[in-house]
Amino acid sequence: MKLQTRKWLSLLVLIVGLPLYIVVAVTLVNWADRSFGRMPVLAEFAVYLILGVIWVLPFRRVFTGIGRPEE
């Protein structure tokens, strides 16, 4: 994939995909709180930490080399 294409795709992922993912992640945690009761603070922190890292794994290739100058 060309660098310019990856730059536009990464911008799209950050502007559209990340806010949608945040809404889904918070909704998921809130659903778990309603269904199973409130988690301990450290467990909730761990869930948010894991969800915060997982979103980028499918887009690793898109974000690789974005900071490089165009050739």
Predicted local confidence at residue 65, as pLDDT: 80
Residue 31 lies in a domain: yes
* CB-facing half-sphere around the CA of 15: CA atoms within 13 A: 6
* Number of structural domains the chain divides into: 1
Query: Using one digit for the tens of pLDDT, what is the confidence trace for 32-60?
Result: 999 999 989 999 899 999 999 998 898 88
Position 4 pLDDT exceeds 90? no
Q: Which residues contact 56 (CB under 8 A, 6 or more apart)?
A: 63
Residue 71 lies in a domain: no
Q: Identify the CA nearest to 18 among candidates 66, 67, 69, 63.
A: 63
Residue 55 lies in a domain: yes
Predicted local confidence at residue 27, as pLDDT: 94
Residue 66 lies in a domain: no
Residue 68 lies in a domain: no
Mean pLDDT of the chain: 89
Residue 70 lies in a domain: no
The answer to whether the predicted template modeling score (pTM) of the entire model surpasses 0.85 is no
Domain that holds residue 41: 3-61
Position 70 pLDDT exceeds 80? no
Residue owning tokens 């499918």: 58
Predicted local confidence at residue 49, as pLDDT: 94
